[in-house]
Amino acid sequence: MKILAAVKRVVDYNVRIRVASDESGVETNGVKMSMNPFDEIAVEAGVQLKEAGIAAELVVVSIGPAACQETLKTALAMGADRALLVETEVEVQPLAAATAIKAIVEREAPDLVLLGKQAIDDDSNQTGQMLAALLDWPQGTFASGLNIADGKATVTREIDGGLETLLLTLPAVVSTDLRLNTPRYATLPNIMKAKKKPIERSTPEELGIDIRPRQKMLSVSEPPVRTGGVMVASAAELVDKLRNAAKVIP
C-alpha cells in the first residue's frame, strides 16, 4: 500500500501576524515558516500506518517555491520515504493545489491521500474536497480516527451532533483533524538521514496543468481596534445604551 501526504509551507503558528504595508497580504519577509500543523498530523498518520506494516511507502508532496524543500525535509525527517515538489512562484490557491496533487496522484498511483483539513494561512478548507471531486474518489473529512483494513478505510469524523463513522473503499482521500494524533518531533539522527532522501522537483508545465490563480485579493487590513467597555449602574441604563448608543435592540 502506498500513501501520499500533501504538505503546505505556512507562517509558523507561533508568529504574530502583521499586515504588509501595501495591504496586499500578510508580511512574510523575515518571518519563520513551517509545515501547516494539520498537514503535520497527516504525515504522522502516514508514518504510523507505515510503522504498523499497513503501508509500504509514504510519499510527501508540496506545491510552492523552492523554499518548500525545507518543509519537505521536515516530513522526511518525521519518517516519509521520499518527497515531490511542484515548484512555482505563483500564489497557490485551493483549486490549483488540488489540480497539482491530482496530477501527482495519477503518476504515483497511491492507495490513500492524506492532507490537513485546512491550512492556517487562508483557512479555506477546500483542497481535500476538491481533490476528491477531481479524482472521483470517496472522501473522509475532519478525521479524528482512521483505521485501514481489507482495502477499506474506517474514518471517524466530528460533526455538530457528535461523531460520524464512514467506511470508504480505497483509494480514498482523507483530511485530518486535530484529535487524530500528536505529531512527533523529528530527532537529530532522522534529520541527518532526511538529507539523503530524494526530493524530486517538477513544474506545473511539466505536469501539463494550469495553476494560475482564479481569485484576486483586493486588500488585507487589520481589524478595527476594539474600544474599552463601559460600566453601567443599572439594567435600565444598560438597555438605554444598547438601544440608543449601540443600536443593537429596537
pLDDT of 219 reads 83
- Measured between alpha carbons, how far is residue 240 from residues 158, 226, 228, 243, 247 in Å? 42, 21, 18, 5, 9
pLDDT of 22 reads 81
* Across 201-222, average pLDDT: 89
pLDDT at 147 over 90: yes
Non-local CB neighbours of 48 within 8 Å, separated by 6+ positions:
181
Higher pLDDT, 222 or 111: 111
Rounded CA gap, 15 and 243, in Å? 40
**CB neighbourhood size of 145 (10 A):** 16
Q: Quick one: cell of 190?
A: 532522522
Give the CA angle between residues 50, 172, 183 to the nearest 5°: 40
Percentage of the chain surpassing pLDDT 70? 100
| Per-residue pLDDT reduced to its tens digit, 100-143 | 999 999 999 999 999 999 999 888 999 999 999 999 999 999 99
* Across 73-102, average pLDDT: 94
Q: Give backbone dihedrals phi and psi of 96, rounded to 5 degrees, phi first.
A: -65, -45
Quickly name the fold that domain 2-224 has. Rossmann fold (3.40.50)
pLDDT at 203 over 90: yes
pLDDT of 225 reads 83
pLDDT at 24 over 80: no
Q: Which of 153, 152, 129, 130 is nearest to 141 (CA)?
A: 129
Q: What is the pTM of this model?
A: 0.84
* Position 96 confidence tier, pLDDT thresholds 50, 70, 90: very high
The SS3 of residue 52 is coil
